[in-house]
Structures are given as C-alpha cells and as structure tokens.
Amino acid sequence: MTVETAYVLVNCKLGSEESILDSLKYLESVKEVQGTFGVYDIIAKIENSDKDKLRETVTWGIRKLENVRSTLTLMGIEGQN
C-alpha cells in the first residue's frame, strides 16, 4: 500500500499561530507540524493511503480552521524520491 504525502504551507492571521498549530495536531492525517519564518507561518506534513482523504484533510480540515488566511499544498512526484 502506497502512502501519499503532502506538505501544506499555512498563512495565519497575526497572533493565531499557536492555536492553529495546536488544532493541526489533532487532525487525523497530520503527522508533523512546525512553525516557520517567512511568507508562511506553519508547515504541516500530512499522510494518508487515500488521496481523497488527503484532499479532504486540506480542504475541510486545514483550510476551514479559524484564522487560516491561505494555504499552499505541495505533493511529491511519484518515482522521484
């Protein structure tokens, strides 16, 4: 079984980084979260064997969190690792 992996860069409203970091830790497919410096405030690594579940985590889990302004999702190319 292949595990799909995506990295989601999250831009938050100022001052809401900690609460969003805490919320992300409780989403099922989220495996790692880290605060960052730069345009994006948080990076989250998400994994699931089902691509649709991965998409649902981003769309209905991460993007719908209060104070998330925007996201950028990066998925690796199969066979290029």
Tell me the domain boundaries of the chain.
4-75
Query: In a 10 Å sphere around its CB, with 0-12 CB exposed, 13-18 middle and 19+ buried, how is residue 12 labelled?
Result: buried
Report whether 36 contacts 43 (CB < 8 A).
yes
Q: What is the average per-residue pLDDT within 9-20?
A: 96
pTM value is 0.91
Q: What is the pLDDT of residue 2?
A: 84
pLDDT tier at 70 (50, 70, 90 boundaries)?
very high
Interacting residues of 35 by C-beta distance below 8 A, sequence separation 6+ = 17, 21, 41, 42
Model confidence at 78: pLDDT above 80? no
pLDDT tier at 29 (50, 70, 90 boundaries)?
very high
CATH number 3.20.80.10 is the correct assignment for the domain at 4-75: no
